Amino acid sequence: MRIFSGIQPTGRKHLGNYIGAITQYVEAQERGDAVLCIVDLHAITVPHDPAELRERLYDTTAILLAAGLEPARCVLFRQSDVVEHSELTWLLSSVTAYGDLTRMHQFKDKAAAQRELVSAGLFFYPVLQAADVLAYRAQEVPVGEDQRQHVELMRDIATRFNARYGDTLVVPAHRIPPVGARIMDLQHPERKMSTTGGSEEGTIYVLDEPSAIEHKFRRAVTDSGSEIARAPEKPGVSNLLEILAAVRAVAPADLEAQLHGMGYGELKAGVARAVIAHLAPVRERYERLRGDEPALERTLADGAQRARAIASDTVADVRERMGVGAPRRSRPLP
């Protein structure tokens, strides 16, 4: 089974990214043929600093390797190194409904946050994301809850393409984890943890020092009452339980039973300890990997070469189906 996912090289990666997505990428190596892409072309759809984008790309690459991605067991690459993504975006735009793009939540949120310019790139972002996945004919896309709508859209795009031009693309399914698909901000547990929309105090970064992690959990907002249980009116405690369940790989319901009678202070200290233990080895490995940029470049270059071999095949089929470019004689379509 082919599994594909993408991650932006922007901001600092946080616990939401780690639990909702990165953990799943690492597991994907066990379950199938994993292809992971660091999406620098998506990152330029909002204002950015060019030099910082390069730094962040290396940061993200090193975090993924530190988390357990092994270049020998997956394809890890930088989106812009495989030009097929850009070409496929254009080809697929003709089977993408304009109306659907206007309804994308992420576009609406990000557009509302722009002060100067809402770029056409931001509007087209989901088409590029569809091209990312469809180029690899991936069956499965591990993501956090916030990407559900984008995966729905790529399914529609693939289905419309196949209906119009004949069976060519694989219609992918999302894989959203049952626990940890939407980690909330510790200070504002009604908002998702995020580098752009969250609070600094309420966001745990993968590379935070243990003392910072402890401090942020100690100050985490809890709810009225004293019961340790998940409930809509208890978003703070629910989030802490969800985080603990995810890092310990147990069911939240089991934790509720286990922690019955414990105070909120003790719960917060326990979650902090578990998260620190979970992230400490990642941070150590990161420090070693991040220092060697030429090695990171070599890893990405090798990944790009392998990615391109797959993507170019798909793009050739799509061009052929659509009647774009010279007809292909050597390898007839199935």
Q: Is 239 in the site for ligand TRP (CB under 6 A)?
A: no
Q: Is 39 in the site for ligand TRP (CB under 6 A)?
A: yes
CB of 96 to ligand AMP, least distance (A): 21
Residue 91: count other Cβ atoms within 10 Å of its Cβ.
19
According to CB under 6 A, which residues from 48 to 67 bind ligand TRP? none
Coil/strand/helix, residue 37? strand
Contact predicate 85/43, CB 8 Å: no
Q: Is 310 in the site for ligand TRP (CB under 6 A)?
A: no
Query: Which C-beta is closer to ligand AMP: that of 9 or that of 303?
Result: 9
> Which of ligand TRP, ligand AMP, none binds 133 (CB below 5-8 Å, type-dependent)?
ligand TRP
Query: Which C-beta is closer to ligand TRP: that of 3 or that of 289?
Result: 3
According to CB under 6 A, which residues from 136 to 175 bind ligand TRP? 141, 143, 147, 150
According to CB under 6 A, which residues from 252 to 291 bind ligand TRP? none
Please choose, from the candidates 178, 165, 131, 135, the residue with its C-alpha nearest in 3D space to the C-alpha of residue 2. 135
Q: Is 203 in the site for ligand AMP (CB under 6 A)?
A: no
**Strand 74-78 relative to strand 173-175, pairing:** unpaired
Q: Is 20 in the site for ligand AMP (CB under 6 A)?
A: yes
Contacts of 115 (CB under 8 A, 6+ apart): none
CA distance linking residue 303 with residue 74, whole number of Å: 8
- The residue whose two tokens read 């199938």 is 32
> Where would I find the H helices in 141-192?
148-165
Enumerate long-range contacts of 98-107, CB under 8 Å, 24 or more apart.
100/153, 100/156, 101/126, 101/127, 101/153, 104/149, 104/150, 104/153, 105/146, 105/149, 106/146, 106/149, 106/150
Alpha carbon of 121 to those of 101, 198, 309, 310: distances in Å? Answer: 12, 24, 26, 25
Q: Is 290 left (phi over 0), alpha (psi -120 to 50) or beta?
A: alpha
Q: Is 144 in the site for ligand AMP (CB under 6 A)?
A: yes
Q: Near ligand AMP by CB under 6 A, which window of 27-35, 186-194, 210-218, 242-250?
A: 186-194
Query: Which C-beta is closer to ligand TRP: that of 192 or that of 216?
Result: 192
Helix (H) or strand (E) holding 99: helix 98-102
CB of 312 to ligand TRP, least distance (A): 18
Within 13 A of 206's CA, how many CA atoms are on the CB side? Answer: 27
Query: Which C-beta is closer to ligand AMP: that of 134 or that of 318?
Result: 134
Q: Near ligand AMP by CB under 6 A, which window of 141-149, 230-238, 240-248, 302-310?
A: 141-149
Q: Is 182 in the site for ligand AMP (CB under 6 A)?
A: yes
> Which of ligand AMP, ligand TRP, none binds 189 (CB below 5-8 Å, type-dependent)?
none
Contact predicate 222/264, CB 8 Å: yes
CB of 297 to ligand TRP, least distance (A): 21
Q: Using CB under 6 A, which of 23, 45, 61, 129 touches ligand TRP?
A: 129
Q: Using CB under 6 A, which of 146, 242, 317, 320 touches ligand AMP?
A: 146
> Which residues of this chain interact with ligand AMP, rule CB under 6 A?
7-8, 16-17, 20-21, 143-144, 146-147, 181-183, 192-194
